[in-house]
Amino acid sequence: MHDTSTTAIRSDRLSALRTQMLAEAEITSVQNQSLIQSRREQICEAALSLFLEKGFAATTIRDICARSGVNQASIYDYIANKNDILRRLLNQLWFREDVSTLPIILLDENLSLEDAFEKYFRESWSMKRDGTLLAYRCVPHMQAEDRRALHAREFAVMKDLADQLAPRLGMHSDDQRLDIVANLMVFLSAFGPMRDWLIRDIPDEVILRTISAGAAAMVRSLADQAQT
């Protein structure tokens, strides 16, 4: 029997981690908020394209200034450094609030596993593509405190997903295999952005349905193993 009280306690414990963002620098040298917003958008847009083209380590502030059109003498009025730009981009693209996490989607008990995974992968692959590529490529270059914050938030998503899968499969919430499969399901959200360049001749819907069906079958196999 699934212990709902344990799930509630764990959910409360992880609530702070779910909304944790990377700490952006507070810069007050410019008071015009609309100008700050406009310049930061220019800087972040230019930096994103450069980070994905050249890599984070190879991109310089000079490169970002040239691409964005923001003068090198004034860029630090809007951002602290290259790591600050990365934090802002990840907060916007990787932690974006308009893309549902898989645990949230699974709250709808009317959705089958296949339908839930399909909705999750569709949104992640289309709306978080740049954020996914940026996150996976730039983690090695992140500062220690940023990696800890990223780890904490991803850990919370994994645990939330394991908690959602447990009652659907009739498994105990402390079964460690749920954490393993939950972690893998989140990783599959990166499949489209990171691997679809090899299968561009296959229609997107075929890829989506195939991965979703395979993921659902794998998850259900846990319940079958538990019963044997």
Burial class (CB in 10 A: 0-12, 13-18, 19+), 154: middle
pLDDT, position 95: 85
Copy the structure tokens of residue 50: 């450069």
Domain-embedded: residue 138: yes
Contact call for residues 222 and 169 (beta carbons, < 8 A) = yes
Query: pLDDT tens digits for 95-148?
Result: 888 889 999 999 999 999 999 999 999 999 999 999 999 999 998 999 999 999
Q: How far apart are CA 72 and CA 77, in angstroms?
A: 10
Q: How far apart are CA 150 and CA 153, in angstroms?
A: 5
Query: Do 44 and 139 reside in the same domain of the chain?
Result: no
Q: Which residue from 156, 162, 167, 26 is spatially nearest to 88, judged by alpha carbons?
A: 26
pLDDT, position 218: 95
Residue 4: is its pLDDT beyond 80? no
Domain that holds residue 143: 4-20+97-227
Contact call for residues 170 and 2 (beta carbons, < 8 A) = yes
Domain-embedded: residue 25: no
Domain-embedded: residue 142: yes
pLDDT, position 17: 52
Query: pLDDT tens digits for 191-208?
Result: 999 999 999 999 999 999
Domain-embedded: residue 85: no
Residue 14: is its pLDDT beyond 60? no
Query: Do 67 and 177 reside in the same domain of the chain?
Result: no
Residue 1: is its pLDDT beyond 50? no
Query: Do 52 and 164 reside in the same domain of the chain?
Result: no
Query: pLDDT tens digits for 135-185?
Result: 999 989 999 999 998 898 899 999 999 999 999 999 998 999 999 999 999
- Other C-beta atoms closer than 10 Å to the C-beta of 137 total 15
Looking up residue 40, the CATH number of its domain turns out to be 1.10.10.60
Copy the structure tokens of residue 124: 């992640």
Residue 20: is its pLDDT beyond 80? no
